Each structure stands twice: as C-alpha cells, then as structure tokens.
Amino acid sequence: MSAIIRVSHLSKQFKDTKAVDDLSFTVNMGDVYGFLGQNGAGKSTTIRMLLSLIAPTEGDITIFDKKLSTHRSAILRQVGAVIEKPDLYKYLSAYDNLSIFAKMSGIKASRELLMQQLEMVGLADRAKGKVETFSQGMKQRLGIAVALVHNPDLIILDEPTNGLDPQGIADIRNLILRLSREMGKTILISSHLLSEIELIANRMIILHKGKKMVEGKVSELLDPAHSMIQLETTNDQLAKEKLLQSKWADALQEGKSIRLLMNKQAVPQLISDLVGLDVSILSINSSHSLENYFLSLTTMSGHVEPFAN
C-alpha cells in the first residue's frame, strides 16, 4: 500500500525537554490513522512538525514521496488541517468564512461548491448564520470545511473533539467516517478520547513521553490476548498474594483491585487454578479497550494518569 506520510527518527528538543524522541511511523493512503497519547506525549509537537510550523531537531519527514524540508509548498497544497480550535471570523456567516478562506487558498469557488462543502459538514441550513452564534461543535465542523475547501488528499486533525458534548463528538466522528469511506481521504487524527479512536481508526500509534510505544492495525492490536480480566474475591489481598506465587504472576497488574492482562481464552483455566488455590470468586469481568491496552504498555514506565473516555 502506498505511503502518504513517512516519519523517520524524528526528534524535537525544547531546551531541557525532549518533546519527541526518535519517532518513526508510516501513514498509508486511505488510512484513518489514530495518533494517541496523553497531554505532553508529543502529539501536537509532531503534528506541528508535519505541517512545517516548527522545525525538527533531528529526523526526516516525507509526505507524498517528497521531503518536507525541500518541498514544503507543494506538499502543503495537498494538506488540510485543523489544529485545536479553528480560527474563524466570528462576526461573519459560515458561507462568508468559507468564501474568504477559499480565496486565501487561491481557489475560485462557485456558490454551488461552497454550499456543497457546507452540506457535507451539515451546515448548509446555517450558511447565513454568524459564527458567533454557533456551538463549539458547529465551529469545529466549519473548521473542517475550511480545511477541505481546496480538496486536499491528506487531512490532519489535532484533537477535533476537544471540549465537545456527546452530540458534537458523534457529529465529528460521522464526518470523519464519511470523509474516509465516501471521499477516500487519508486522515491523521490526534486524540485522547480512546473510545472514539476505536470506532473510526484502522491503524494507530500510541505515544508516551515522546516515544512510540506501539504502531499497527487496530484490529490486530486489540485482539483477545490483551483482554483485561477483573476479579472480586472474598479476600482480594490474599488472592493477590497467591496469584503472585502462581503462573499468573506476570499477568497480574498493579493496583488495589485484582486485574490480569491476558488472553480471554485462558479465563476458564484461571478460574480453575483459583479454585485450586482455595480462592472464593465473587465476580469476574472481562473488558477490552484501547485505554486498557495503553495502560498495559505504559505502567511499566511509571504512574500514568488515565485517559479521558
């Protein structure tokens, strides 16, 4: 499959802080690529380097088979981006905003084309409405329309659902899926809302303290081998002590509750072994989410605050 973005050994140093540390990844044509990590993981810094807003300390970025360092203008003509909250003219209408940004991009857009763009993001009926009257979700959708006005092949979205209510998040999710499935756009989306990335991304990378923890297909990374099994017993402390002395010790996770990261298919054997250890089980639950997977990767590096979900 053709690669749209190739990042090789990318690093960014800010005085005493290494925001991005020897990062390499690939985004293929047609991907909805999840760019995941907590605040401070290096997501936004990497995106700013991809958009040539800041220069890397080390490493190379290739987009559309061209080096960003030498073909910046040609590359950016094929890229649309929304970085956090979009910059819009709040006293103008949605249509006028889109028209102005089209002209700034060198696009001679007809009224029909602009209305099609607004229809695509669900704002055609508010074309004459002033942006200052819009909800944050509507502003975000208009920002995406602005990013798409020059019909780019690659779309980069940095935390597009930040601060949105559940309906706003759903609207952005559906828009991203439409851009991918119906329009064939390649999308890189940065987020800390892991449940959303599970629903829309086909490939992903997880960053922690500027480093890549894992990269791959979501379907392969979230397989049954990474299920989180949570137990409640009549004496959790005693049960944990017995598990630490058993073959299940490596699967046991830190924390007050009894949690094991393991293959779901092995649960019957786990129950059998616990019964053999005279452990009385009150309840057992299995869950599998990107948050659990992330925590399983990063707790080895020290305490990690949970993601928003």
Mean pLDDT within 184-207: 88
Q: CATH number of the domain at 284, please.
A: 3.30.70
Is residue 187 in a domain? yes
**Together in a domain, 216 and 230:** no
In this structure, is residue 306 part of a structural domain?
no
- Please report which confidence band the pLDDT of residue 194 belongs to, taking 50, 70 and 90 as the band edges: confident
210 with 264, same domain?
A: no
CATH number at residue 212: 3.40.50.300
Residues 108 and 183 in one domain: yes
Asked, for residue 235, whether it belongs to a domain, the answer is yes
pLDDT tens profile 15-52 = 889 999 999 999 999 999 999 888 888 999 999 999 99
30 and 133, same domain (yes or no): yes
Q: What is the 3-state secondary structure (H, E, C) of 161-220?
A: CCCCCHHHHHHHHHHHHHHHHCCCCEEEEEECCHHHHHHHCCEEEEEECCEEEEEEEHHH
In terms of domains, do 156 and 235 share one? no
Tell whether 231 and 215 lie within a shared domain: no
Mean pLDDT, rounded, for 61-89: 92
State pTM to two decimals.
0.76
Q: Contact 168/85 with Cβ under 8 angstroms?
A: no
Question: Number of folded domains in the chain?
Answer: 2
**Last residue in a domain, options 190, 221, 252:** 221
| Same domain membership, residue 146 and residue 265 | no
Residues 174 and 136 in one domain: yes
Do 241 and 158 share a domain, yes or no? no
Res 291 pLDDT > 80: no
Long-range contacts from 104-110, C-beta under 8 angstroms, 24+ separation:
105/149, 105/150, 106/150, 107/149, 107/150, 109/149
Domain assignment present for 80: yes
- Same-domain pairing of 207 and 233: no
Within this chain, do residues 211 and 147 fall inside the same structural domain, yes or no? Answer: yes
Does residue 141 share a domain with residue 280? no
pLDDT one-digit tens code per residue, 82-111: 987 788 999 999 999 999 999 988 888 899
Domain carrying residue 29: 3-221
Domain endpoint, select from 183, 205, 221: 221
